[in-house]
Amino acid sequence: MTPERRQQLLAFLESLGFGSGNGLLLLDPAADAAALATIDEALTHSSTGQPRHHDRLEFLGDAVLRLAAAEFLRSAHPSLSVGDSSALRAQLVSDRWLSELARTIALEPVLLLGAMATGDRAGRATVLAECCEALVGAIYTVGGGPQGGLVAVQHWLGPHWQASAAELLADPLRHNWKSVLQEWSQGQGKGLPAYHCRERSRVHGDPERFECQVEVGGLSGEGRGGSRREAEQQAARAVLAALELRPAPGC
């Protein structure tokens, strides 16, 4: 690693709230080289063709992210139902949220990208989300893995989640469950969700005027609302809650 890259990574970690003096990351000078190599791996996209790239840490980061978000919601919002917590977590770990976080923390300038990824402006949000998730895995690893890694991740992400959750809970219509469900279904190769709505009453202002059912990948959900959009959002939310509560294959 060049001295310039080392300084760039150290400055980036400091901007995230990590450093050699806080007891959470880079615990002593001797650990710097290994820690920075892990961070560098997370920020090196596979399009570079380098043997060490973000894929392995992205896989780890996916699992860590979901656990850290669940712990955050359990601690910060204990009164939420399991279904509401599951649906809210789907927002807080989505690729959309990750790509927005990546922009907030200025991740792109420290990424190492290959020519194909550099030229693909349309796919930049996906690249940012992937490497941001890999960074979660790297911080978990450098922070101690099972012995303290989750604390390091929560130290970093907690304030961001707090702000996002407050906005979403203050205005339920900001929950874009449809977009999250579509993101999931396309990522799983299940195509687009199909929505079927009907008007239950013609009373203006009826909070359950519309009823909607959504089907995707063998799953279905129902929702009601004062508008078609609200009913669709609630139907998508029901599917997301079911996905979070359903046991993983083989369990």
Q: Is 58 annotated as a binding residue?
A: yes
Q: Are strands 219-225 and 210-216 parallel, antiparallel or unpaired?
A: antiparallel
Active site (annotated) includes residue 108: no
> Which residue in the list 40, 41, 95, 133 is annotated as catalytic?
133
Neighbours of 153 (CB within 10 A): 26
**What does DSSP assign to residue 146?**
T
Q: Is 133 annotated as a binding residue?
A: yes
- The two counts, helices (H) then strands (E), for the chain are 10, 3
Amino acid at 38: T
Q: For residue 229, what are its two tokens?
A: 């959009």
Neighbours of 202 (CB within 10 A): 7
Measured in whole angstroms, how far is the alpha carbon of residue 56 from the centre of its chain?
17
Q: For residue 123, what are its two tokens?
A: 């796919």
Amino acid at 228: R
Instruction: Say if CB 142 and CB 38 are below 8 A apart.
Output: yes
> Which residue in the list 62, 71, 108, 183 is annotated as catalytic?
62
Active site (annotated) includes residue 133: yes
How many residues make up the chain in this entry? 251
Q: For residue 204, what are its two tokens?
A: 């203006």
Which residues have a Cβ under 8 Å from the Cβ of 152 and sit 6 or more positions away? 18, 24, 25, 139, 140, 142, 143, 144
**Residues 85/88/93/94 CA torsion (nearest 10 deg):** 140
Name the binding residues for Mg(2+): 58, 130, 133
Name the binding residues: 58, 130, 133
Catalytic positions, written as ranges: 62, 133
